[in-house]
Amino acid sequence: MTSVNPWEMARQQFFQAADLMGLEDGLREVLSTCKRELTVHFPVKMDDGSIHVFTGYRVQHNLARGPAKGGIRYASDVTLDEVRALAMWMTWKCAVVGIPFGGAKGGVVCDPKHMSPRELENLTRRYTTEISLLIGPERDIPAPDVNTNPQVMAWIMDTYSMHQGYSIPGVVTGKPVEIGGSIGRNDATSRGCLYVTQEALADRGEKLTGQRVAIQGFGNAGMYAAELFAQAGAVIVAVSDSKGGIYNPRGLDVERVIYVKATTGTVVEYRDAERIGHRDVLEVPCDILIPAAVENQITKDNADRVRARIVVEAANGPTTPEADAILWDKGIFILPDVLANAGGVTVSYFEWVQDLYSFFWDDRRVYGELEHIMRRAYHDVMNKLGTLQKQHGRRVDPRQAAQVLAIERVAQATRIRGIYP
């Protein structure tokens, strides 16, 4: 399977959008570069008494619109280029939804599935200490991403607070509610996907009820997407995790799949479905395809076999630029990552605001504000798409429109602030 370097992919997308909007050379250089890149190598004591040195990264892409914001990922294939790409996408994402953050991302090269809870805690606390050069509630606020969760965020919050001598919940988002987390953060990414999908369907005179949905990845983004889309009337026909996928054209019992995943560790143990490969889920007949795993999943090798009408990118960077072009030619509508999965960072923003004010919102307020921001962002992107099409006399895809919208906002913030000194 062809795999594209995510940083090259993120820059390619950026330059395409920069060309489309006629961005001046100086700002092209500024915005295509990451502002800060920290690489750390740090020892962790393992359960058997041995010491293992791990490598981690924290990259801040841009801070023009506010403090840096972005998740932390634990995986054995994390690279600096992947973290750079994810940091850049965070900058655009925060700008698309209009929240006052710049973009950052972090990652540790490790295999969390083969580490004990104590080893993961040791790794997290030491990594937090190493990147505390950069993070802080006014400077850079991490959050969960692949293979990190509210417990990991709690360890980050506690470690940072221990160093300062008092509790600083605003240093990280996605924490448990008991220690300053926000109601609604767990399913925020998927809820945001739901709102923008409903808007896209409404534009076509359609409703979600009865639409067939396939989802790749069954973690935070994928599992809650399955649950929320099913509750909203969609039929979930296929899901997958890293061990494989399951498909039933009549629909899966989502609550049952969640139970099976929780008790066996994988969705493939669910019985009332055909077992398929974890990539096959991208190719099943469906109306809506939600990639919710990792980058580089829809590539030039399989894009032609995608049978959905709408692709909703819950994952970051699941579609390569070559695949984008193929999907486009097939008339498939993509709700791009920087819009579709921005619900997570939006509720992270709410969490940070609540932490700073020590005043906590109820679920009605969280969901209401999230819905407002996501539906507004969808229409901002579509309006930008309309303007660009008129301006250039040709069709423009939603990813380019979202990127142009975001880059304009970040570029304008940079122009207003000026180049120091």
Chain residues that interact with ligand NAD, rule: CB under 6 A: 144-147, 189, 216-222, 240-242, 278, 292-294, 314-316, 341, 344
Q: Closest distance between ligand NAD and the C-beta of residue 23, in Å?
A: 26
Residue (147 or 211) nearer to ligand NAD, CB? 147
Residue (145 or 283) nearer to ligand NAD, CB? 145
163: Cβ contacts below 8 Å, ≥ 6 apart: 129, 132
What tokens were used for 5?
A: 């370097």
Task: Give the H/E segment covering residue 201.
Answer: helix 188-203
- Token pair 């979202």 is found at 402
Q: Closest distance between ligand NAD and the C-beta of residue 207, in Å?
A: 25
Please, are residues 51 and 44 in contact by the beta-carbon 8 Å criterion? yes
Helix then strand count (H, E) for the chain reads: 13, 12
- Catalytic pick from 69, 105, 261, 384? 105
Spatial CA neighbour of 31 closest among 13, 4, 49, 57? 13
DSSP per-residue string spanning 12-53: HHHHHHHHHHT--HHHHHHHTS-SEEEEEEEEEE-TTS-EEE
Residue (131 or 221) nearer to ligand NAD, CB? 221
Number of Cβ within a 10 Å radius of residue 25 = 8
Is residue 105 among the annotated active site residues? Answer: yes
- The residue at minimum Cβ distance from ligand NAD is 219
What tokens were used for 274?
A: 């055909």
Please, are residues 39 and 107 in contact by the beta-carbon 8 Å criterion? no
Residue (84 or 278) nearer to ligand NAD, CB? 278
- Token pair 């400077």 is found at 139
- What DSSP state is assigned to residue 232? T
Residue (159 or 240) nearer to ligand NAD, CB? 240
Q: Closest distance between ligand NAD and the C-beta of residue 254, in Å?
A: 14
The pair phi, psi for residue 333, each rounded to 5°, is -90, 125
Q: Closest distance between ligand NAD and the C-beta of residue 14, in Å?
A: 18
Q: Closest distance between ligand NAD and the C-beta of residue 1, in Å?
A: 10
Q: Closest distance between ligand NAD and the C-beta of residue 335, in Å?
A: 13
Cis geometry, peptide bond prior to residue 321 (ω within 30 degrees of 0): no
Residue (1 or 416) nearer to ligand NAD, CB? 1
User: What is the spatial distance between Cα 257 and Cα 266, in angstroms, rounded to a whole number?
Assistant: 9
Known catalytic residues are 105
